[in-house]
């Protein structure tokens, strides 16, 4: 089954929401709904897609702000998040929205995820990796059914950069270690869809990422 991934960018943080679905299917996954949920709802309605699950990579406000609106449209859609970030959903200070003067909260999660878990929904199967460092309970979703492999990566790995580590519970050591041990062991053609900016590949970041790739001393350069 061919998988389609649509990107919807939400202001003000230019956060990427992904709509993931198999061609010919009417159900889909919504990953990290941001501050402009009407864009997401419009896209789903126009394509006659129904979300089977809301997958959250982490609990920061720009990645959860659309949960309430989507749940209003589809009351039964489950919300999934890493166990370590679940408290952020109901806590505007923890999810950092209180710092901006607009308190964002979300309905609670229906399922808490951790390393080794598997999500099966909308005809898709995704493996869960724990990748803390940007937030304490950050996870990524790995879709292996396609070639190349796809990583729905949140704020872990960007084009020539990594997620910020200066938020509460952040750790650059944990983040870089997780990227090296888990993402960089995937094939070089693995596509990483990040929480901000354009997609990249594992191979490109090994070669060019000064935080965690060749320039950081991880791999020997011929």
Report the CATH architecture of 3-216. 4-Layer Sandwich (3.60)
- Averages of pLDDT over runs of 10 residues in the chain (222 residues) are 95 97 96 97 98 98 98 98 98 93 94 98 97 98 90 98 95 96 97 98 96 69 35
Residue 217 pLDDT: 57
Q: Exposure string (b/e) for 159-169, b if CB count within 10 Å is 16 or more?
A: bbbbbebeeeb
Between CA 156 and CA 200 the distance in angstroms is 12
A 10 A CB-CB count for 144 gives: 15
Instruction: Dump strand ranges (E) for the chain.
Output: 3-10, 15-22, 27-31, 50-55, 79-82, 111-113, 118-121, 124-130, 139-143, 150-154, 157-158, 161-162, 191-194, 200-201
Q: What angle do CA 141, 145, 147 make, to 5 degrees?
A: 100
Cis peptide before 159 (omega within 30 of 0): no
Contact 206, 216 (CB under 8 A): no
pTM of the model: 0.95
Q: What six digits make up the tokens of 8? A: 């919807």
Sign of CA dihedral 207, 210, 214, 219: negative
Residue 222 pLDDT: 35
Residue 181 CB partners (closer than 8 Å, separation 6+): none
Residue 220 pLDDT: 42
Residue 25 CB partners (closer than 8 Å, separation 6+): 1, 122, 123
Residue 114, helix vs strand vs coil: coil
Long-range contacts of 114-118 (CB under 8 A, 24+ apart): 114/82, 114/83, 114/139, 115/139
Residue 219 pLDDT: 44
**What are the domain boundaries of the chain?**
3-216
């Amino acid at each position: 089954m061919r998988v389609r991934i649509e990107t919807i960018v939400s202001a003000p943080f230019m956060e990427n929401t992904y709509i993931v679905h198999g061609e010919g299917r009417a159900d889909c996954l919504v990953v990290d709904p941001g501050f402009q949920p009407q864009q997401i709802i419009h896209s789903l309605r126009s394509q006659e897609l129904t979300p089977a699950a809301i997958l959250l990579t982490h609990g920061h406000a720009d990645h959860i702000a659309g949960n309430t609106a989507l749940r209003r449209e589809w009351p039964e859609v489950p919300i999934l998040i890493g166990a370590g970030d679940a408290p952020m959903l109901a806590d505007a200070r923890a999810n950092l929205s209180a710092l901006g003067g607009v308190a964002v909260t979300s309905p609670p999660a229906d399922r808490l995820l951790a390393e080794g878990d598997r999500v099966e929904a909308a005809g898709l199967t995704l493996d869960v990796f724990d990748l803390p460092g940007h937030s304490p309970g950050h996870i990524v979703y790995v879709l292996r059914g396609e070639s190349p492999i796809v990583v729905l990566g949140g704020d872990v790995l960007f084009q020539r950069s990594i997620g910020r580590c200066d938020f509460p519970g952040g750790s650059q050591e944990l983040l870089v270690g997780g990227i090296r041990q888990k993402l960089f062991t995937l094939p070089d053609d693995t596509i990483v869809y990040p929480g901000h900016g354009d997609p990249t590949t594992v191979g490109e970041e090994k070669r060019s990422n000064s935080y965690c790739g060749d320039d950081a001393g991880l791999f020997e350069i011929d």
